[in-house]
Amino acid sequence: MVAIDILLVEDNSSDAELSLRAIKKYDSGLQVLHLEDGEKVLHFIKNSKDKYNINSLKLIILDLKIPKINGLEVLAFIKESSQFKNTPIVMLTSSMEEKDIEAAFKKGVNSYLVKPMIYEEYTKMMHEMLKYWIDYYHNSQQDE
């Protein structure tokens, strides 16, 4: 069984590569599963028990505008899932539209981040996000 720490949902290959590189730079031991569209995420959620150790999942990083099933629909589905409803979800997107931000929070997203255009800023933002959700939040949940 494959243990996964982070589920990265990103259809843009350049953004996915930036995210994966930033995650590995932050902590090379983190195991990341990268999926490109909402349909694959729903399949993962429905069928993950057989192939993956889902108990190790600490964070879901979700793009808003992904093919087949959009990020808001995926977010709602995850929040309805008994296995994943308490897993923190960070919406990482290029959209700064107020309606998208409001919709994401109404559906239960834990954080909404807009992708920076500059590599160093992107990496810094990813590291700050990982520090909070992986190191601080996840470790504080284990202490309870």
Q: Give the confidence band of 55 by pLDDT, cuts at 50, 70, 90.
A: confident
Average predicted confidence (pLDDT) for the chain: 91
CA distance 144 to 131: 19
% of the chain at pLDDT higher than 70: 94
Q: Is the pLDDT of residue 30 over 80?
A: yes
First vs last Cα of the chain: how many Å apart?
27
CA distance 105 to 141: 21
pLDDT at 141: 65
DSSP 61: E
- Read off the pLDDT of each residue in 43-53 and give the average, rounded to a whole number: 80
